[in-house]
Chain A
Amino acid sequence: MATLEIHDLHVSVDDREILRGVDLTVKQGETHAIMGPNGSGKSTLAYSIAGHPRYTVTKGSVTLDGEDVLAMKVDERARAGLFLAMQYPVEVPGVSVTNFLRTAVTAVTGEAPKLRTWVKDLNTAFENLAIDSSFKERSVNEGFSGGEKKRFEVLQLELLKPRVAILDETDSGLDVDALKVVSAGVNRVRDAGTTGTLLITHYTRILRYIKPDHVHVFVGGRFVEEGGPELADLLEAEGYDKWVKGAGPAKAEAAP
Chain B
Amino acid sequence: MTDFAIPTGREEAWRFTPTRRLRGLFEPLADGGDGKIVVDIDTPAGVTVEHVDPREDARVGSVFTPTERIAALAFEGTKQAIVVSVPAEARPDKPVSLVVRGEGGPSYGHITLDIGAFAEATVVIDHIGTTTFASNLEVKVGDGARLTVVSLQDWDDDAVHLEHQVAYVGRDATYRSVVVTLGGDLVRINPIVRFTGPGGDAELLGLFFADDGQHLEHRLLIDHDQPHCKSRVTYKGALQGEKAHTVWIGDVIIRANAIGTDTYELNRNLVLTDGARADSVPNLEIETGEVTGAGHASATGRFDDEQLFYLMSRGIDEAVARRLVVRGFFADIVERIGLPEIEQRLMNAVDDELANVERALARSTS
Residues of chain A whose beta carbon lies under 8 Å from any beta carbon of chain B: 50-53, 73-75, 77-79, 83-84, 86, 89-96, 99-100, 103-104, 107-108, 139-140, 156, 160, 256
A74 engages B324 (CB within 8 Å): no
- Please report the C-alpha to C-alpha distance between residue A91 and residue B328 in the assembled complex, in whole angstroms: 13
Given A94-B331, A95-B328, also A104-B306 (CB < 8 A): no
List of A residues within 8 angstroms of B325 by Cβ? 92, 94-95
List of A residues within 8 angstroms of B312 by Cβ? 73-75, 78
- Please report the C-alpha to C-alpha distance between residue A153 and residue B257 in the assembled complex, in whole angstroms: 55
Return the CB mask of B312-337 against A: 1 if under 8 Å, else 0: 11111110100011101101000000
List of A residues within 8 angstroms of B301 by Cβ? 93
Q: How distant is B74 from chain A, measured CB to nearest CB, in Å? A: 37
B294 located at the interface, meaning its Cβ lies under 8 Å from any Cβ of chain A in the complex: no
Return the CB mask of B286-325 against A: 1 if under 8 Å, else 0: 0000000000000001000111011111111110100011
Contact of B324 among A51, A79, A100 (CB under 8 A): A100
**28 A-B interface contacts by CB (under 8 A):** A50-B313, A52-B309, A73-B312, A75-B312, A75-B314, A75-B315, A75-B317, A75-B318, A77-B313, A78-B315, A78-B316, A84-B313, A86-B313, A89-B310, A90-B310, A92-B310, A93-B301, A93-B328, A100-B311, A100-B314, A100-B324, A103-B314, A103-B320, A104-B314, A104-B316, A107-B316, A156-B314, A160-B315
A95 engages B313 (CB within 8 Å): no
- Please report the C-alpha to C-alpha distance between residue A180 and residue B316 in the assembled complex, in whole angstroms: 30
- Please report the C-alpha to C-alpha distance between residue A50 and residue B318 in the assembled complex, in whole angstroms: 15
Q: How distant is B3 from chain A, measured CB to nearest CB, in Å? A: 45
17 additional A-B pairs beyond A75-B315, A107-B320, A108-B314, beta carbons within 8 Å, are A52-B309, A53-B305, A74-B312, A75-B313, A75-B317, A77-B313, A78-B316, A86-B313, A91-B307, A92-B311, A92-B325, A94-B329, A96-B328, A103-B316, A104-B315, A107-B316, A108-B315
- Please report the C-alpha to C-alpha distance between residue A139 and residue B324 in the assembled complex, in whole angstroms: 11
List of A residues within 8 angstroms of B307 by Cβ? 90-92
CB nearest to B320 among chain A residues: A103
- Please report the C-alpha to C-alpha distance between residue A202 and residue B301 in the assembled complex, in whole angstroms: 34
- Please report the C-alpha to C-alpha distance between residue A228 and residue B325 in the assembled complex, in whole angstroms: 44
List of B residues within 8 angstroms of A104 by Cβ? 311, 314-316
Q: How distant is B313 from chain A, measured CB to nearest CB, in Å? A: 5
A74 engages B313 (CB within 8 Å): yes
Given A96-B328, A99-B328, also A90-B309 (CB < 8 A): yes
B306 engages A90 (CB within 8 Å): yes
